Chain A
Amino acid sequence: MALINLPAFSQELLADFESLGTLRVDTPVIQPAEPFLAMAGEDLRRRIFMTESETGESLCLRPEFTIPVCLRHIETATGTPKRYAYLGEVFRQRREGGNEFYQAGIEDLGDTDIAASDARAVGSAMRVVANRLPGRRLSVTLGDQSVFEAVVGACGLPGGWQKRLIHAFGDQKHLQKLLAELADPKAAGVFGPEVERLAINGMLDDEALLVAHIGQTMEATGYSTNASRSPQDIARRLKEKMELANTRLDPETLDLVREFLALDMPLADAPAALFRFAEKTGLALDGALSGFDARVAALAAIGADVSAIRYRAAFGRPLDYYTGLVFEVEVEGTQAVLAGGGRFDRLLTLLGAQEHIPAVGFSLWLDRIETAIAVSRGAA
Protein backbone atom coordinates (compact mmCIF):
# COMPACT_ATOMS: atom_id res chain seq x y z
CA MET A 1 0.00 0.00 0.00
CA ALA A 2 1.24 3.47 -0.84
CA LEU A 3 2.02 5.81 2.01
CA ILE A 4 -0.24 8.78 2.01
CA ASN A 5 0.44 10.08 5.49
CA LEU A 6 3.67 11.30 6.96
CA PRO A 7 5.38 8.81 9.23
CA ALA A 8 4.23 9.28 12.82
CA PHE A 9 7.67 10.41 13.98
CA SER A 10 8.09 13.14 11.33
CA GLN A 11 7.75 16.05 13.76
CA GLU A 12 10.36 14.66 16.13
CA LEU A 13 12.64 13.94 13.18
CA LEU A 14 12.31 17.51 11.90
CA ALA A 15 13.01 18.79 15.42
CA ASP A 16 16.19 16.67 15.42
CA PHE A 17 17.20 18.16 12.07
CA GLU A 18 16.66 21.65 13.40
CA SER A 19 18.77 20.96 16.47
CA LEU A 20 21.51 19.74 14.11
CA GLY A 21 21.75 23.22 12.61
CA THR A 22 20.14 22.49 9.26
CA LEU A 23 18.04 24.57 6.91
CA ARG A 24 14.94 22.68 5.76
CA VAL A 25 14.36 22.85 2.00
CA ASP A 26 11.72 21.45 -0.29
CA THR A 27 12.00 20.64 -4.00
CA PRO A 28 9.31 20.04 -6.64
CA VAL A 29 8.03 16.46 -6.94
CA ILE A 30 8.21 16.70 -10.73
CA GLN A 31 11.84 17.01 -11.80
CA PRO A 32 13.72 17.08 -15.10
CA ALA A 33 14.82 13.46 -15.68
CA GLU A 34 18.07 14.32 -17.41
CA PRO A 35 20.27 15.01 -14.33
CA PHE A 36 19.26 11.73 -12.64
CA LEU A 37 19.99 9.66 -15.76
CA ALA A 38 23.22 11.52 -16.44
CA MET A 39 24.50 11.00 -12.89
CA ALA A 40 23.24 7.53 -12.03
CA GLY A 41 23.26 5.96 -15.49
CA GLU A 42 20.70 4.35 -17.74
CA ASP A 43 19.91 1.62 -15.22
CA LEU A 44 17.92 4.15 -13.27
CA ARG A 45 15.49 4.57 -16.16
CA ARG A 46 13.74 1.30 -15.28
CA ARG A 47 13.40 2.30 -11.65
CA ILE A 48 11.97 5.80 -11.96
CA PHE A 49 8.61 7.08 -13.14
CA MET A 50 9.09 9.09 -16.28
CA THR A 51 6.82 11.25 -18.34
CA GLU A 52 7.16 13.97 -20.91
CA SER A 53 6.16 17.59 -21.00
CA GLU A 54 4.15 18.94 -23.89
CA THR A 55 7.36 20.25 -25.43
CA GLY A 56 9.05 16.86 -25.24
CA GLU A 57 11.21 17.44 -22.15
CA SER A 58 11.75 14.24 -20.13
CA LEU A 59 10.36 14.60 -16.64
CA CYS A 60 10.27 12.23 -13.71
CA LEU A 61 8.80 11.93 -10.26
CA ARG A 62 11.53 12.79 -7.76
CA PRO A 63 13.39 9.49 -7.16
CA GLU A 64 15.64 10.94 -4.43
CA PHE A 65 16.59 14.26 -2.89
CA THR A 66 20.35 14.70 -3.25
CA ILE A 67 20.35 15.86 -6.87
CA PRO A 68 17.33 18.22 -6.47
CA VAL A 69 18.81 19.73 -3.30
CA CYS A 70 22.16 20.28 -5.04
CA LEU A 71 20.51 21.76 -8.13
CA ARG A 72 18.48 24.08 -5.94
CA HIS A 73 21.67 25.13 -4.17
CA ILE A 74 23.36 25.94 -7.48
CA GLU A 75 20.34 27.88 -8.75
CA THR A 76 19.77 29.93 -5.63
CA ALA A 77 23.53 30.71 -5.39
CA THR A 78 23.36 31.53 -1.70
CA GLY A 79 26.97 30.57 -0.97
CA THR A 80 28.59 27.88 1.16
CA PRO A 81 28.82 26.24 3.59
CA LYS A 82 25.19 25.15 3.84
CA ARG A 83 23.63 22.34 5.82
CA TYR A 84 20.33 21.40 4.20
CA ALA A 85 17.67 19.01 5.50
CA TYR A 86 14.74 17.54 3.63
CA LEU A 87 11.75 15.31 4.27
CA GLY A 88 9.33 14.31 1.55
CA GLU A 89 7.99 11.65 -0.73
CA VAL A 90 10.12 9.91 -3.35
CA PHE A 91 8.97 7.61 -6.13
CA ARG A 92 10.74 4.49 -7.36
CA GLN A 93 9.80 1.18 -8.87
CA ARG A 94 10.86 -1.26 -6.20
CA ARG A 95 10.66 -5.03 -6.08
CA GLU A 96 9.76 -4.88 -2.40
CA GLY A 97 7.77 -2.22 -0.62
CA GLY A 98 5.62 0.47 -2.15
CA ASN A 99 6.52 2.66 -5.09
CA GLU A 100 6.05 5.88 -3.14
CA PHE A 101 7.63 6.36 0.23
CA TYR A 102 9.15 8.99 2.44
CA GLN A 103 12.80 9.89 2.64
CA ALA A 104 14.52 12.42 4.82
CA GLY A 105 18.13 13.42 5.10
CA ILE A 106 20.85 16.00 5.41
CA GLU A 107 23.26 17.32 2.77
CA ASP A 108 26.34 19.25 3.90
CA LEU A 109 27.57 21.39 1.02
CA GLY A 110 30.81 23.34 0.95
CA ASP A 111 32.40 22.48 4.28
CA THR A 112 36.13 22.23 3.50
CA ASP A 113 36.97 20.40 6.73
CA ILE A 114 36.59 16.93 5.25
CA ALA A 115 37.18 14.87 8.39
CA ALA A 116 34.85 16.98 10.53
CA SER A 117 32.01 17.08 7.99
CA ASP A 118 32.33 13.31 7.30
CA ALA A 119 32.12 12.64 11.03
CA ARG A 120 29.17 14.99 11.40
CA ALA A 121 27.26 13.17 8.63
CA VAL A 122 27.84 9.74 10.21
CA GLY A 123 27.18 11.08 13.70
CA SER A 124 23.95 12.84 12.70
CA ALA A 125 22.64 9.79 10.85
CA MET A 126 23.35 7.56 13.87
CA ARG A 127 21.75 10.04 16.23
CA VAL A 128 18.48 10.50 14.32
CA VAL A 129 18.11 6.75 13.79
CA ALA A 130 18.94 6.05 17.46
CA ASN A 131 16.38 8.64 18.58
CA ARG A 132 13.66 6.77 16.69
CA LEU A 133 14.74 3.40 18.08
CA PRO A 134 15.68 3.96 21.73
CA GLY A 135 17.33 0.96 23.33
CA ARG A 136 18.26 -0.70 20.02
CA ARG A 137 21.92 -1.08 19.21
CA LEU A 138 22.93 0.19 15.77
CA SER A 139 25.47 -1.32 13.45
CA VAL A 140 27.23 0.96 10.99
CA THR A 141 29.36 -0.12 8.01
CA LEU A 142 31.91 2.38 6.75
CA GLY A 143 34.04 2.34 3.63
CA ASP A 144 36.43 4.78 2.02
CA GLN A 145 37.11 4.92 -1.69
CA SER A 146 40.10 7.23 -1.25
CA VAL A 147 42.01 4.52 0.68
CA PHE A 148 41.38 2.03 -2.14
CA GLU A 149 42.51 4.63 -4.67
CA ALA A 150 45.71 5.14 -2.67
CA VAL A 151 46.37 1.37 -2.51
CA VAL A 152 45.87 0.99 -6.26
CA GLY A 153 47.98 4.07 -6.95
CA ALA A 154 50.83 2.85 -4.73
CA CYS A 155 50.91 -0.56 -6.48
CA GLY A 156 52.54 1.07 -9.49
CA LEU A 157 49.95 0.01 -12.05
CA PRO A 158 49.63 2.02 -15.28
CA GLY A 159 47.03 4.78 -15.24
CA GLY A 160 44.54 2.86 -17.37
CA TRP A 161 44.43 -0.07 -14.95
CA GLN A 162 44.13 2.23 -11.96
CA LYS A 163 41.12 3.89 -13.55
CA ARG A 164 39.51 0.53 -14.34
CA LEU A 165 39.91 -0.74 -10.80
CA ILE A 166 38.80 2.49 -9.15
CA HIS A 167 35.80 2.65 -11.43
CA ALA A 168 34.78 -0.87 -10.38
CA PHE A 169 35.22 -0.17 -6.65
CA GLY A 170 32.05 -1.17 -4.81
CA ASP A 171 31.04 -3.68 -7.49
CA GLN A 172 32.66 -6.81 -6.00
CA LYS A 173 31.92 -9.09 -8.94
CA HIS A 174 33.32 -6.72 -11.53
CA LEU A 175 36.36 -5.85 -9.43
CA GLN A 176 37.26 -9.51 -8.84
CA LYS A 177 36.90 -10.16 -12.57
CA LEU A 178 39.29 -7.30 -13.36
CA LEU A 179 41.82 -8.56 -10.81
CA ALA A 180 41.65 -12.02 -12.34
CA GLU A 181 42.26 -10.53 -15.80
CA LEU A 182 45.22 -8.60 -14.47
CA ALA A 183 46.77 -11.78 -13.10
CA ASP A 184 46.11 -13.94 -16.14
CA PRO A 185 48.43 -13.42 -19.12
CA LYS A 186 45.89 -15.07 -21.43
CA ALA A 187 43.53 -12.13 -21.13
CA ALA A 188 45.64 -9.84 -23.31
CA GLY A 189 43.96 -6.93 -25.05
CA VAL A 190 42.20 -7.51 -28.35
CA PHE A 191 43.50 -5.42 -31.23
CA GLY A 192 41.91 -5.16 -34.65
CA PRO A 193 43.72 -5.77 -37.95
CA GLU A 194 44.01 -2.00 -38.55
CA VAL A 195 46.24 -1.69 -35.52
CA GLU A 196 48.58 -4.36 -36.89
CA ARG A 197 48.78 -2.44 -40.16
CA LEU A 198 49.57 0.74 -38.26
CA ALA A 199 52.29 -1.09 -36.35
CA ILE A 200 53.85 -2.38 -39.58
CA ASN A 201 53.82 1.13 -41.00
CA GLY A 202 55.59 2.36 -37.88
CA MET A 203 52.77 4.72 -37.07
CA LEU A 204 52.28 3.56 -33.51
CA ASP A 205 55.64 5.03 -32.49
CA ASP A 206 54.94 8.47 -33.88
CA GLU A 207 51.99 10.04 -32.12
CA ALA A 208 51.78 13.13 -34.34
CA LEU A 209 51.71 10.94 -37.45
CA LEU A 210 49.08 8.69 -35.91
CA VAL A 211 46.86 11.64 -34.94
CA ALA A 212 47.13 13.05 -38.47
CA HIS A 213 46.32 9.66 -40.00
CA ILE A 214 43.25 9.21 -37.77
CA GLY A 215 42.07 12.75 -38.55
CA GLN A 216 42.41 12.24 -42.30
CA THR A 217 40.62 8.89 -42.18
CA MET A 218 37.77 10.41 -40.19
CA GLU A 219 37.34 13.21 -42.69
CA ALA A 220 37.52 10.82 -45.64
CA THR A 221 34.81 8.59 -44.12
CA GLY A 222 32.47 11.43 -43.22
CA TYR A 223 33.14 11.44 -39.47
CA SER A 224 33.39 14.76 -37.71
CA THR A 225 36.65 15.06 -35.75
CA ASN A 226 35.08 17.07 -32.94
CA ALA A 227 31.55 15.69 -32.43
CA SER A 228 32.71 12.66 -30.47
CA ARG A 229 36.18 11.29 -29.69
CA SER A 230 38.94 13.30 -31.34
CA PRO A 231 41.95 11.83 -33.16
CA GLN A 232 44.04 12.81 -30.11
CA ASP A 233 41.68 10.91 -27.78
CA ILE A 234 41.91 7.78 -29.89
CA ALA A 235 45.70 7.93 -30.31
CA ARG A 236 46.25 8.55 -26.60
CA ARG A 237 44.06 5.69 -25.48
CA LEU A 238 45.52 3.33 -28.05
CA LYS A 239 48.85 3.91 -26.35
CA GLU A 240 47.23 3.44 -22.94
CA LYS A 241 45.61 0.21 -24.15
CA MET A 242 48.93 -1.19 -25.33
CA GLU A 243 50.25 -0.52 -21.83
CA LEU A 244 47.18 -2.23 -20.36
CA ALA A 245 47.71 -5.29 -22.54
CA ASN A 246 51.37 -5.50 -21.56
CA THR A 247 50.76 -5.21 -17.83
CA ARG A 248 50.68 -8.22 -15.58
CA LEU A 249 50.05 -7.97 -11.93
CA ASP A 250 52.61 -10.14 -10.17
CA PRO A 251 51.04 -12.62 -7.72
CA GLU A 252 52.42 -10.76 -4.67
CA THR A 253 50.78 -7.48 -5.67
CA LEU A 254 47.54 -9.26 -6.49
CA ASP A 255 47.55 -10.94 -3.07
CA LEU A 256 48.19 -7.60 -1.51
CA VAL A 257 45.19 -5.95 -3.23
CA ARG A 258 43.02 -8.91 -2.24
CA GLU A 259 44.32 -8.79 1.32
CA PHE A 260 43.40 -5.12 1.45
CA LEU A 261 39.89 -5.72 0.07
CA ALA A 262 39.31 -8.42 2.71
CA LEU A 263 39.94 -6.02 5.62
CA ASP A 264 36.86 -5.96 7.87
CA MET A 265 37.18 -4.82 11.49
CA PRO A 266 35.89 -2.45 14.17
CA LEU A 267 36.57 1.11 13.03
CA ALA A 268 38.57 1.82 16.18
CA ASP A 269 41.10 -0.85 15.12
CA ALA A 270 41.25 0.28 11.50
CA PRO A 271 43.82 3.11 11.70
CA ALA A 272 46.41 0.81 13.30
CA ALA A 273 45.56 -2.07 10.95
CA LEU A 274 45.89 0.15 7.86
CA PHE A 275 49.18 1.51 9.18
CA ARG A 276 50.47 -2.05 9.67
CA PHE A 277 49.25 -2.98 6.19
CA ALA A 278 51.13 -0.02 4.66
CA GLU A 279 54.25 -0.80 6.66
CA LYS A 280 54.22 -4.51 5.83
CA THR A 281 53.60 -3.99 2.12
CA GLY A 282 55.79 -0.93 1.77
CA LEU A 283 53.00 1.00 0.05
CA ALA A 284 53.01 4.77 0.45
CA LEU A 285 49.49 5.46 1.73
CA ASP A 286 50.29 8.35 4.07
CA GLY A 287 47.89 10.93 2.61
CA ALA A 288 44.86 8.66 2.55
CA LEU A 289 45.64 7.19 5.96
CA SER A 290 46.00 10.54 7.67
CA GLY A 291 42.60 11.54 6.27
CA PHE A 292 41.18 8.25 7.55
CA ASP A 293 42.68 8.71 11.01
CA ALA A 294 41.42 12.29 11.20
CA ARG A 295 37.89 11.10 10.47
CA VAL A 296 38.03 8.44 13.20
CA ALA A 297 39.34 11.05 15.62
CA ALA A 298 36.61 13.49 14.58
CA LEU A 299 33.94 10.81 15.16
CA ALA A 300 35.27 10.23 18.67
CA ALA A 301 35.45 13.98 19.26
CA ILE A 302 31.76 14.55 18.51
CA GLY A 303 30.84 11.68 20.82
CA ALA A 304 29.66 9.21 18.16
CA ASP A 305 29.54 5.61 19.33
CA VAL A 306 32.61 4.44 17.40
CA SER A 307 32.24 0.91 18.81
CA ALA A 308 29.08 0.48 16.66
CA ILE A 309 31.01 1.16 13.44
CA ARG A 310 32.86 -1.40 11.35
CA TYR A 311 35.30 -0.58 8.58
CA ARG A 312 34.99 -2.74 5.46
CA ALA A 313 37.71 -1.95 2.91
CA ALA A 314 35.73 -3.26 -0.09
CA PHE A 315 32.61 -1.26 0.75
CA GLY A 316 31.88 1.44 -1.84
CA ARG A 317 29.47 2.63 -4.50
CA PRO A 318 30.31 2.20 -8.18
CA LEU A 319 29.18 5.69 -9.19
CA ASP A 320 31.76 8.16 -10.38
CA TYR A 321 30.70 11.08 -8.21
CA TYR A 322 31.31 9.28 -4.92
CA THR A 323 34.80 10.13 -3.80
CA GLY A 324 35.53 9.07 -0.24
CA LEU A 325 33.40 8.09 2.73
CA VAL A 326 30.42 5.77 2.29
CA PHE A 327 28.35 4.37 5.16
CA GLU A 328 25.17 2.52 6.01
CA VAL A 329 23.25 2.28 9.28
CA GLU A 330 21.28 -0.81 10.33
CA VAL A 331 19.87 -2.15 13.56
CA GLU A 332 22.33 -4.70 14.89
CA GLY A 333 21.40 -8.20 13.76
CA THR A 334 19.10 -7.06 10.94
CA GLN A 335 19.65 -6.55 7.23
CA ALA A 336 17.53 -3.49 6.44
CA VAL A 337 19.55 -0.37 5.66
CA LEU A 338 17.86 2.46 7.59
CA ALA A 339 20.26 5.22 6.56
CA GLY A 340 22.92 5.48 3.89
CA GLY A 341 25.27 8.21 2.89
CA GLY A 342 28.65 9.28 1.72
CA ARG A 343 30.86 11.93 0.25
CA PHE A 344 30.19 13.13 -3.29
CA ASP A 345 32.71 15.88 -3.97
CA ARG A 346 32.33 15.60 -7.74
CA LEU A 347 28.57 15.88 -7.95
CA LEU A 348 28.08 19.65 -7.79
CA THR A 349 30.53 20.47 -10.58
CA LEU A 350 28.99 17.68 -12.68
CA LEU A 351 25.61 19.34 -12.10
CA GLY A 352 26.98 22.67 -13.27
CA ALA A 353 28.41 24.45 -10.22
CA GLN A 354 31.14 26.88 -11.26
CA GLU A 355 33.41 26.23 -8.29
CA HIS A 356 34.39 23.00 -6.54
CA ILE A 357 31.97 22.32 -3.69
CA PRO A 358 32.84 19.42 -1.38
CA ALA A 359 29.69 17.62 -0.25
CA VAL A 360 28.67 14.87 2.15
CA GLY A 361 25.26 13.68 3.27
CA PHE A 362 22.92 10.85 4.08
CA SER A 363 19.32 9.82 3.58
CA LEU A 364 16.95 7.92 5.81
CA TRP A 365 14.53 5.22 4.62
CA LEU A 366 11.55 6.25 6.69
CA ASP A 367 9.36 3.26 5.78
CA ARG A 368 12.07 0.86 6.93
CA ILE A 369 12.53 2.86 10.13
CA GLU A 370 8.76 2.59 10.75
CA THR A 371 9.00 -1.18 10.25
CA ALA A 372 11.96 -1.37 12.61
CA ILE A 373 10.01 0.63 15.23
CA ALA A 374 7.06 -1.74 14.88
CA VAL A 375 9.33 -4.79 15.24
CA SER A 376 11.00 -3.18 18.23
CA ARG A 377 7.64 -2.54 19.93
CA GLY A 378 6.49 -6.07 19.16
CA ALA A 379 9.60 -7.50 20.77
CA ALA A 380 9.36 -5.28 23.86
Chain B
Amino acid sequence: MTITIALPSKGRMKDDASAIFERAGMKIVAVGNDRSYRGRVEGWEDVEIAFLSASEISRELGNGSIDFGVTGEDLVREGLANADARVEFCARLGFGHADVVVAVPEIWYDVDTMADLGDVAADFRARHGRRLAIATKYWRLTQNHFSGSHGIQLYRIVESLGATEGAPASGSADIIVDITSTGSTLTANHLKILADGVILRSEACLVRARKPAHDTDPTVGRILSAVRDAL
Protein backbone atom coordinates (compact mmCIF):
# COMPACT_ATOMS: atom_id res chain seq x y z
CA MET B 1 0.00 0.00 0.00
CA THR B 2 1.25 3.49 -0.83
CA ILE B 3 1.47 5.75 2.19
CA THR B 4 0.70 9.43 1.60
CA ILE B 5 2.37 12.06 3.77
CA ALA B 6 1.05 15.62 3.48
CA LEU B 7 3.43 18.48 4.17
CA PRO B 8 2.78 22.23 4.32
CA SER B 9 3.02 23.66 0.81
CA LYS B 10 4.89 26.84 1.59
CA GLY B 11 6.85 28.99 4.02
CA ARG B 12 8.84 28.16 7.16
CA MET B 13 6.62 25.19 7.95
CA LYS B 14 7.50 23.60 4.58
CA ASP B 15 11.24 24.11 5.04
CA ASP B 16 11.28 22.95 8.67
CA ALA B 17 9.23 19.85 7.86
CA SER B 18 11.43 18.96 4.88
CA ALA B 19 14.54 19.38 7.05
CA ILE B 20 13.25 16.93 9.64
CA PHE B 21 12.40 14.34 7.02
CA GLU B 22 15.83 14.77 5.47
CA ARG B 23 17.48 14.17 8.87
CA ALA B 24 15.27 11.09 9.16
CA GLY B 25 16.80 9.72 5.96
CA MET B 26 13.75 10.59 3.94
CA LYS B 27 14.93 13.19 1.44
CA ILE B 28 11.94 14.73 -0.27
CA VAL B 29 12.15 15.60 -3.94
CA ALA B 30 9.50 17.37 -5.93
CA VAL B 31 7.94 15.53 -8.83
CA GLY B 32 8.43 17.68 -11.91
CA ASN B 33 9.46 21.22 -11.02
CA ASP B 34 10.12 22.87 -7.64
CA ARG B 35 6.64 24.38 -7.43
CA SER B 36 4.95 21.03 -7.93
CA TYR B 37 2.43 20.01 -5.26
CA ARG B 38 3.51 16.39 -5.43
CA GLY B 39 6.72 14.83 -4.29
CA ARG B 40 8.38 11.53 -3.46
CA VAL B 41 10.98 10.30 -1.01
CA GLU B 42 14.31 9.14 -2.39
CA GLY B 43 14.64 5.42 -1.86
CA TRP B 44 11.11 4.99 -0.44
CA GLU B 45 9.06 3.74 -3.36
CA ASP B 46 5.90 3.15 -1.34
CA VAL B 47 5.66 6.70 0.03
CA GLU B 48 4.29 9.73 -1.74
CA ILE B 49 4.27 13.34 -0.64
CA ALA B 50 1.39 15.80 -1.09
CA PHE B 51 1.99 19.50 -0.48
CA LEU B 52 -1.18 21.04 0.94
CA SER B 53 -2.12 24.08 2.99
CA ALA B 54 -1.86 23.51 6.73
CA SER B 55 -5.63 23.63 7.31
CA GLU B 56 -6.30 21.28 4.38
CA ILE B 57 -3.92 18.79 5.97
CA SER B 58 -6.01 18.73 9.12
CA ARG B 59 -9.19 18.20 7.08
CA GLU B 60 -7.70 15.45 4.92
CA LEU B 61 -6.42 13.66 8.04
CA GLY B 62 -9.97 13.80 9.39
CA ASN B 63 -11.49 12.13 6.36
CA GLY B 64 -8.60 9.71 5.97
CA SER B 65 -7.58 10.60 2.44
CA ILE B 66 -3.96 10.92 3.57
CA ASP B 67 -2.07 8.71 6.03
CA PHE B 68 0.27 11.18 7.71
CA GLY B 69 0.39 14.94 7.85
CA VAL B 70 2.61 17.61 9.32
CA THR B 71 0.52 20.48 10.64
CA GLY B 72 -0.16 22.53 13.76
CA GLU B 73 -1.92 20.80 16.64
CA ASP B 74 -4.21 23.85 16.88
CA LEU B 75 -5.55 23.30 13.37
CA VAL B 76 -6.23 19.61 13.99
CA ARG B 77 -7.98 20.16 17.32
CA GLU B 78 -9.97 23.05 15.86
CA GLY B 79 -10.84 21.29 12.63
CA LEU B 80 -11.87 17.87 13.91
CA ALA B 81 -14.48 16.87 16.45
CA ASN B 82 -13.14 14.06 18.70
CA ALA B 83 -9.66 14.60 17.25
CA ASP B 84 -7.97 11.98 19.44
CA ALA B 85 -10.33 9.26 18.25
CA ARG B 86 -9.72 10.05 14.61
CA VAL B 87 -6.03 10.85 14.50
CA GLU B 88 -2.89 10.07 16.49
CA PHE B 89 -0.36 12.76 17.38
CA CYS B 90 2.79 10.70 16.74
CA ALA B 91 5.54 13.24 17.33
CA ARG B 92 5.93 16.87 18.30
CA LEU B 93 8.39 18.35 15.84
CA GLY B 94 9.77 21.31 17.76
CA PHE B 95 8.85 24.09 15.35
CA GLY B 96 5.77 26.15 14.55
CA HIS B 97 5.23 26.94 18.23
CA ALA B 98 2.09 28.93 18.93
CA ASP B 99 -0.17 29.14 21.97
CA VAL B 100 -3.91 29.50 21.58
CA VAL B 101 -4.80 31.98 24.32
CA VAL B 102 -7.66 33.97 25.82
CA ALA B 103 -6.64 37.64 25.86
CA VAL B 104 -8.54 40.62 27.28
CA PRO B 105 -7.79 44.37 27.25
CA GLU B 106 -4.95 45.24 29.68
CA ILE B 107 -7.19 47.92 31.13
CA TRP B 108 -9.55 45.28 32.47
CA TYR B 109 -7.73 45.48 35.82
CA ASP B 110 -10.37 43.27 37.40
CA VAL B 111 -9.97 40.36 34.96
CA ASP B 112 -6.99 38.02 35.29
CA THR B 113 -8.63 34.58 35.36
CA MET B 114 -11.37 32.67 33.57
CA ALA B 115 -13.44 32.94 36.77
CA ASP B 116 -13.26 36.74 36.49
CA LEU B 117 -14.31 36.47 32.89
CA GLY B 118 -17.23 34.25 33.92
CA ASP B 119 -18.42 36.97 36.31
CA VAL B 120 -18.13 39.62 33.61
CA ALA B 121 -19.91 37.43 31.05
CA ALA B 122 -22.77 36.65 33.46
CA ASP B 123 -23.45 40.35 33.96
CA PHE B 124 -22.72 41.52 30.47
CA ARG B 125 -26.16 41.35 29.00
CA ALA B 126 -27.79 43.24 31.85
CA ARG B 127 -25.21 46.03 31.54
CA HIS B 128 -24.70 46.28 27.81
CA GLY B 129 -27.79 44.74 26.24
CA ARG B 130 -25.74 42.08 24.45
CA ARG B 131 -23.56 39.10 25.26
CA LEU B 132 -19.80 39.30 25.72
CA ALA B 133 -18.33 39.06 22.20
CA ILE B 134 -15.21 36.98 21.50
CA ALA B 135 -13.35 37.50 18.23
CA THR B 136 -11.71 34.28 17.06
CA LYS B 137 -11.28 31.80 14.26
CA TYR B 138 -11.10 28.99 16.87
CA TRP B 139 -14.77 28.18 17.40
CA ARG B 140 -14.31 24.67 18.72
CA LEU B 141 -11.33 25.37 21.00
CA THR B 142 -13.11 28.42 22.42
CA GLN B 143 -16.31 26.51 23.13
CA ASN B 144 -14.45 23.63 24.76
CA HIS B 145 -12.44 25.96 26.96
CA PHE B 146 -15.26 28.29 27.95
CA SER B 147 -18.19 25.90 28.26
CA GLY B 148 -16.41 22.62 28.85
CA SER B 149 -13.62 23.60 31.23
CA HIS B 150 -14.96 26.75 32.90
CA GLY B 151 -18.76 26.57 32.81
CA ILE B 152 -19.09 29.83 30.90
CA GLN B 153 -22.04 29.72 28.49
CA LEU B 154 -23.00 33.31 28.00
CA TYR B 155 -20.88 34.75 25.23
CA ARG B 156 -21.04 35.15 21.49
CA ILE B 157 -18.34 34.28 19.00
CA VAL B 158 -17.66 36.87 16.32
CA GLU B 159 -15.79 35.20 13.53
CA SER B 160 -12.48 36.87 12.78
CA LEU B 161 -10.22 35.60 10.06
CA GLY B 162 -7.44 38.14 10.40
CA ALA B 163 -6.08 40.99 12.56
CA THR B 164 -8.02 39.51 15.45
CA GLU B 165 -5.90 41.40 18.01
CA GLY B 166 -7.38 44.66 16.77
CA ALA B 167 -10.99 43.67 17.45
CA PRO B 168 -11.26 44.86 21.09
CA ALA B 169 -9.86 48.32 20.39
CA SER B 170 -12.03 48.76 17.31
CA GLY B 171 -15.08 47.67 19.29
CA SER B 172 -16.03 44.75 17.03
CA ALA B 173 -15.51 42.35 19.97
CA ASP B 174 -14.69 42.58 23.69
CA ILE B 175 -11.98 39.93 23.96
CA ILE B 176 -10.14 37.51 21.69
CA VAL B 177 -9.04 33.90 21.43
CA ASP B 178 -6.06 33.71 19.09
CA ILE B 179 -2.62 32.24 18.57
CA THR B 180 0.49 33.97 19.75
CA SER B 181 4.11 32.93 19.64
CA THR B 182 5.96 35.82 21.29
CA GLY B 183 3.04 37.81 22.63
CA SER B 184 4.34 41.00 21.04
CA THR B 185 1.25 41.60 18.88
CA LEU B 186 -0.92 41.22 21.95
CA THR B 187 1.19 43.73 23.87
CA ALA B 188 1.15 46.15 20.96
CA ASN B 189 -2.65 46.01 21.03
CA HIS B 190 -2.80 46.44 24.83
CA LEU B 191 -4.09 42.93 25.45
CA LYS B 192 -3.07 40.53 28.23
CA ILE B 193 -3.31 36.76 28.50
CA LEU B 194 -5.36 35.43 31.41
CA ALA B 195 -3.48 33.44 34.06
CA ASP B 196 -5.45 30.31 33.12
CA GLY B 197 -6.10 31.48 29.57
CA VAL B 198 -3.72 29.23 27.65
CA ILE B 199 -6.08 26.88 25.83
CA LEU B 200 -3.45 24.94 23.92
CA ARG B 201 0.33 24.99 23.56
CA SER B 202 0.53 24.10 19.92
CA GLU B 203 3.42 23.19 17.66
CA ALA B 204 3.86 21.34 14.39
CA CYS B 205 3.18 17.64 14.83
CA LEU B 206 3.45 14.50 12.79
CA VAL B 207 -0.14 13.32 12.80
CA ARG B 208 -1.47 9.95 11.64
CA ALA B 209 -5.01 9.30 10.45
CA ARG B 210 -6.21 6.27 12.40
CA LYS B 211 -6.78 3.59 9.75
CA PRO B 212 -7.06 -0.16 10.42
CA ALA B 213 -4.81 -0.91 7.42
CA HIS B 214 -1.90 0.79 9.21
CA ASP B 215 -1.69 -1.98 11.81
CA THR B 216 -0.21 -4.44 9.34
CA ASP B 217 1.72 -2.02 7.13
CA PRO B 218 5.49 -2.13 7.82
CA THR B 219 6.04 1.23 6.07
CA VAL B 220 3.97 3.02 8.75
CA GLY B 221 6.26 1.76 11.49
CA ARG B 222 9.38 2.60 9.46
CA ILE B 223 8.25 6.20 8.93
CA LEU B 224 7.44 6.61 12.60
CA SER B 225 10.76 5.34 13.88
CA ALA B 226 12.73 7.27 11.25
CA VAL B 227 11.07 10.58 12.23
CA ARG B 228 11.24 9.92 15.97
CA ASP B 229 14.95 9.05 15.73
CA ALA B 230 15.62 12.30 13.90
CA LEU B 231 14.17 14.47 16.67
Contact = CB atoms under 8 A, between A and B. Distances in A.
Q: Which 3 A-B pairs have the closest CB atoms?
A: A227-B171, A41-B153, A174-B151
B105 A237 contact: no
A302 interface: no
Interface of B: 105-110, 112-113, 115-116, 118-120, 122-123, 125, 127-128, 130-131, 139, 142-143, 146-147, 151, 153-157, 168-169, 171, 174, 190, 192, 195
Given A189-B112, A214-B109, A240-B119, 19 more contacts: A42-B139, A42-B143, A42-B146, A45-B143, A46-B143, A163-B122, A177-B151, A189-B116, A192-B192, A194-B106, A214-B107, A221-B190, A224-B169, A227-B171, A229-B174, A234-B108, A237-B110, A238-B110, A320-B154
Contacts of A127: none
Nearest to B105: A223
Interface of A: 37-38, 40-43, 45-46, 160, 163-164, 167-168, 171, 173-174, 177, 181, 189-192, 194-195, 198, 214, 217-218, 221-224, 227-229, 233-234, 237-238, 240-241, 318-320, 350
Contact of B171 (A168, A194, A224): A224
Contacts of B131: 38
Contacts of B195: 190
30 contacts: A38-B130, A41-B147, A41-B153, A42-B146, A42-B147, A42-B157, A43-B143, A164-B115, A167-B118, A174-B151, A189-B112, A195-B109, A214-B107, A217-B107, A221-B107, A222-B190, A223-B107, A223-B190, A224-B169, A228-B128, A228-B168, A229-B108, A229-B174, A234-B107, A240-B110, A241-B110, A241-B119, A318-B153, A320-B122, A320-B154
A41 B132 CA distance: 10
Given A41-B147, A41-B155, A43-B153, A163 B119 contact: yes
Contacts of B106: 194, 221
Contacts of A174: 151
Contact of B118 (A164, A228, A234): A164
